Amino acid sequence: MSTDPPFTDVLAEADLPEGKMAIVKVNGRQVAVIRRGGKLHALDNNCPHVGGPLGQGSLAGNTVVCPWHQMAFDLETGLCTNRAGGFSVKVYEVKVENGIILVR
């Protein structure tokens, strides 16, 4: 029996164009959902540095950059790519079913 939490419907796939981000709620947490390079990513919306809203940041290559202090986090791993200190954000599983983006 799986102990993974269920997937949550967050938004229509058509509402998230390439290169854009949306902030959604999943089980009471804010999650940044990002479409980059034709792939969907979901990361914790709060930067671990001082809680900046990643979903309001910018995209640079395969990273999302926090708008407050420009810490960059890899979309695949959640690891900070431009600062020492072992900063990272949680990465969530994401999929599309029947035109709806779901996040676990």
Number of domains in the chain: 1
On whether the CB atoms of residues 8 and 38 are closer than 8 A, the answer is: no
> How far apart, in whole angstroms, are the C-alpha atoms of residue 68 and residue 70?
6
- Pairing, β 39-44 against β 91-92: antiparallel
Q: Where are the beta strands (DSSP E) in 8-104?
A: 8-12, 21-26, 29-36, 39-44, 58-60, 63-65, 72-74, 91-92, 94-97, 100-103
Whether 71 maps to a domain, the answer reads yes
94 part of a folded domain = yes
Residue ranges, the chain, pLDDT below 70: 1-2
The pLDDT, as a whole number, for residue 5 is 84
Does the residue 1 lie in any domain? no
Q: Is residue 35 part of a domain?
A: yes
CATH code where residue 37 lies = 2.102.10.10
- 42-61 pLDDT per residue, tens: 999 999 989 999 999 999 99
Neighbours of 14 (CB within 10 A): 9
Q: Which long-range contacts (CB under 8 A, 24 or more apart) does 45-51 make?
A: 46/89, 47/71, 47/73, 47/89, 48/87, 48/88, 48/89, 49/87
Q: Is residue 95 part of a domain?
A: yes
Q: What is the pLDDT of residue 85?
A: 87
- Structural domain span for residue 39: 8-103
- Residue 2 is assigned to a structural domain of this protein: no
